[in-house]
Structure 1
Amino acid sequence: MTEPVAAAVESLRLVDHHVHGAARGDLDAEGFAAGLSESPFPAPPGTSQLDSQVGFAVRRWCAPVLGLPPHADAPTYLQRRRELGADEVARRFLAASGIGCFLVETGYRADEILSPAEMARSATTPAHPASAEEVVRLESVAEDVAATAPDASCFAEAFAAALGKRVQGAVGLKSVIAYRHGLDFDPEPPDAGEVRRAAGQWLRDGGRLTDPVLLRHLLWAGVEHGLPLQFHVGFGDTDLTMHRCDPSKMTGFLRRVQDRGVPIMLLHCYPYHRTAGYLAAVFPHVYFDVGLAVNYSGARSAAVIAESLEVAPFAKVLFSSDAWGPPELHHLGALLWRRAMTALLGEWVESGDWSQADALRVAELIGAGNARRVYRLEER
């Protein structure tokens, strides 16, 4: 009874609705290990960042893609990567992922990773073409504007013009206000005077954008474009304060924008993925994924995915790898998602709780259909 479920999940051309580019150049041992951790600090003496769920998953599931046996040791694995070279490694993993469309957020260290067009070329096979679309990070646009040294009184206008240019051809916007301030921000849009004063202070002080008034201004400027608006939630590096990344803290903003027709996309969400599922269940414009957590939970990823499917309507859950850097993460995110969905849906069909037809439909919705609908990919 479960074989059709397994075959259908395996054959899905996934839409990765939140992802970054694969590493552009060769990675040494240190760079590769760093790419598999959200921590900027080295592992304890005598150990490696590969001594983790994600590290073990890479050695188990990614080694065969490079022509190595499962569980190849780290030195052998790294030597094989060097022999093949960055371009071939990226091509193998992106093609093996079975991802048919990447929605690439380009605002983080873009010079070190493949562009959306390069991602699509690397993932294309003779049997299956791949595509890629851009998601624009609001804070990066603002920092580009600041680099032109505008007068504070002109900042809002300059940002609006720059964002208007960047969204042409883009399918979505993203905010990292969770990193720069927290999700416990004032849900009301700031007035022009507040924006002018905050811009003056930021332009004098320099540095990256962390002012909560300006961060709110970016959000509301983004809302005006009507595109899906992504938010980093939960799991991340030491730059964020975890308890301020609980998505329930932005409930006021969710209420405030509910009638604006803007889909709110909650990304990653672990360990708040159950909270995100609740928000997706009660608000018509809220969607979520567990992207980053799938790779980092490795052999436990099926448990995380199962928890994400407890209360959320299945039309509100999306697939994401949130991979950045090592292309193993693009492949692994898809592979672990497929394994988890096959096991979970198969179990529910086998027990009689779900029909086979419902299982097949839900797999397609989460793997691709929801993203195509929300980001209007069929219109492109």
Structure 2
Amino acid sequence: MRSVRTLATAAAVGAMILTFGGCGSSDDNKSSNGGATFTPPDLPMKKSLGKGEGAVSILAWAGYAEKEWVTPFEKATGCKATVKYFNTSDDAVNLIKSGDYDVVSASGDASLRMIAAGSVEPVNTDLVPNYKDVYPFLKDRPWNSVNGQMYGIPHGYGANLLMWNKKDVNPAPTDWSVVFGPDAAKYKGKVTAYDSPIYIADAALYLMNTKPDLKIKDPYALDQKQLDAAVALLKEQKKNVGEYWSDYAKEQSAFETGDTVVGTTWQVIASAVDPKKADVEAILPDSGSTGWSDTWMVATKSKHKNCAYLWMNDIISPKANAAVAQYFGESPSNPKACEFAAKGFCDTYHAGDAAYAAKIHYWNTPTAACLDGRKNVKCTDYQQWTQAWTEVKG
């Protein structure tokens, strides 16, 4: 992983909060797959694939469109690629409206905003031959489809893990109570947490499992009382947090120096920690975790839709999908990618492990219309989460 993802910044998020109603829950752990259920703009879907236009403009997270797999794509299709990397999901939501880009990699906290704004159009998966090989548990999900219609092609996914230094943290933790419960005080000043408003969902997930009276069903669907409870928990946690992280290299360094001994991490960080400096272990607790699943989507204003479709098919082809998954540090979406990945990579990242993936509550955009389907209450939106996170950080 060469550049880390960071989620929405407070400056831009206010204007882009969704107000649509009746969205499906992102919490599909115990239910079948199913997309969101609001009414999106009526946009046409591409019916057939023609000859490539000779160019494609790619808007992506850093590390998703590197020359190692972009160059072979250009040679194979004749579509010359220009790539722009964005730093936050809000950047992506804004930039895709411009008409300057053909295809975008969207995280779950951005995809529904793009769909609701009419910035991206329905995707004809029949025109993406490699789509048939994508893991079924990534298809028709609340962040990439609406009313059973796919709006993108799954790219890769990952979980936010619990990591600790085995020398300093005893006994070995099995759930998030080590960072959210009373035990966290034992590691005061050496607990770490992800620095983003979306981390509120981690606190909400903990409360969902430990405070049933709050009746949280989806960590991204919080009414005011539920949000207040999550914020109170985060403020209590802050007493033990030594550093909030958003830079993967900084968290790696903090574990290696001993400044941090326990907290949220990604598999790519756990794998990067020098075992000579820190003996760490990372798990996805049985109680679940938050995480991400990214989607390639076609811009409504795209001038090169044939090449956009060719790109989506290529990036999930076995060889390219393996390359990008290893570079970025996540599981590929195509199981055939594991044939081209380094030995042990797919095992380390639990690629294709449906039971493992079912524990992940994938990032989604909090909206005033409750994502858990409640109709008789107003939920808090991402702007309120951003304000709350500022309050937590002090």
Q: TM-score range by the shorter chain?
A: under 0.3
Q: Normalising by structure 1, report the TM-score.
A: 0.24
Q: Normalising by structure 2, report the TM-score.
A: 0.24
Q: Which has the higher contact order (CA 8 A, sep 6+)?
A: 2
* Structure with the larger helix share: 1
